[in-house]
Chain A
Amino acid sequence: MISWQKLNLGATITEPGNARQFLTGDWRTQRPVLDKDACIRCGRCWVYCPEAAYKEDGDGYFSCDLNYCKGCGICAQECPVGAITMVLEE
């Protein structure tokens, strides 16, 4: 908790994008699993992810950061080759 004496004037937040500290991954009930053999590296999952949880790794594949993935399943729905499947979290 921050006490009110330590607040900035006008309660401004000076650190950009510090919502990253809040991990939304625990909202998830199902998680995306990528089949790399079927993936054509088109990047639709990265484009359509509302959380910006997908990141491009070195080989051109896109991997999901499960710290932030809320498990909405848009990536699995929009994948043109069906390389992503949603698996229930245990």
Chain B
Amino acid sequence: MAVAKDFSGFKARELPKGEYFSPGHRACQGCGGALAIRLILKAIGNRVIIASATGCMEIISSPFPQTAWEVPWIHVAFENAAAVASGVEAALKALMRKGKLKKEKIFVLAIAGDGGTADIGLQALSGALERGHDFVYVCIDNEAYMNTGIQRSSSTPFGARTTTSPAGKKSIGQMTNKKNVAEIAVAHHIPYVATVCPSHYIDLMNKAKKAALISGPAYIHCLSPCPTGWRCAPNLSIEIGRLAVETGVFPLYEVINGKYKIQYPHRRLKPVREYLQLQGRFRHLTDEYIELIQKKVNEEMARLRAMEKFGSFYETVMANL
């Protein structure tokens, strides 16, 4: 297996102390995305080059002439974070081969929001995954275009109210289902795909480190609770992230070489209403729509659990060929 064997996971008492995402950035109060980036950088360390697409995390971290990044960072257009990251990786490889740079492991990270991943940057992401560059793509998914004022993206879940999918007499908000980009990444047969949420921070840091240590492309899908856009109190953003995981709305799993493993939820699912009722963007939903969402969540969890079972079955079949 390509996962580096010497990494056995972070311990709660011995988390790395380094901060590579400095205070003074302009994120809203209680921003889940800023926390996710801080934890990811903590896990990966400072030997990293980051390409960041336009989006919340770019806007808040680099108000000219200041920057919150303490690692090399480049801002690129909305659609090409993955393309620039693959260029950086190819350049590093060439410079090291020619002896112009000292040979060492420098991680390459592409960071984009859900709009920069699921809508605008999908082709660049697909191309980079297909070419097999050794980089990590992190999608900070806050489920709408938050920095321009909460417009729907293809990652907005069913029933959510945004400014371009308003709720009213003739509409229940977003009418389509959330695009599952993690599954699209799995379909490229890349070595590592994972979903993370900052509420489960050890899980997030372990997966970020694993994704970086692996050789070949890795994709991380991070749910980042957004108090501004989800219409909730800023102190609840971690709690909402935790409920998203525990209700099964956003299960945390990893796919290593096509084999699924679910980390959370490992107990019985909480009712999805607990997650929805804390957020103003779902306030208009009636019981029948909540039932519908619950049904979809149950189906998706059943599918994931079946995939997990199928993984071990598949492995025994392949071993006995």
How many B residues touch A, CB cutoff 8 Å? 40
Within 8 A of B (CB), among A60-90: 65, 67-68, 70-74, 76-78, 86
Chain B residue contacts of A68, Cβ below 8 A: 23-24
| A contacts with B: majority SS | loop
How many A residues touch B, CB cutoff 8 Å? 35
Contacting pair B67 A16 (CB below 8 A): yes
Is B68's beta carbon under 8 Å from chain A? yes
Is B29's beta carbon under 8 Å from chain A? yes
Q: Report the separation of the CA atoms of residues A13 and B74 in the bound assembly, to the nearest whole angstrom.
A: 10
Contacting pair A13 B62 (CB below 8 A): yes
Is B22's beta carbon under 8 Å from chain A? yes
Among candidates A20, A43, A49, residue contacting B24 with C-beta atoms closer than 8 Å: A20
Q: Report the separation of the CA atoms of residues A65 and B19 in the bound assembly, to the nearest whole angstrom.
A: 14
Contacting pair A18 B67 (CB below 8 A): yes
Produce 1/0 per residue, A5-16, CB < 8 A to B. 000000101011
Contacting pair B235 A51 (CB below 8 A): no
Contacting pair B234 A74 (CB below 8 A): yes
Name A's B-contacting residues (CB within 8 A). Answer: 2, 11, 13, 15-24, 27, 43, 47-53, 56, 65, 67-68, 70-74, 76-78, 86
Name B's A-contacting residues (CB within 8 A). Answer: 15, 17, 19-27, 29-32, 34-35, 38-39, 61-71, 198, 201, 227, 233-239
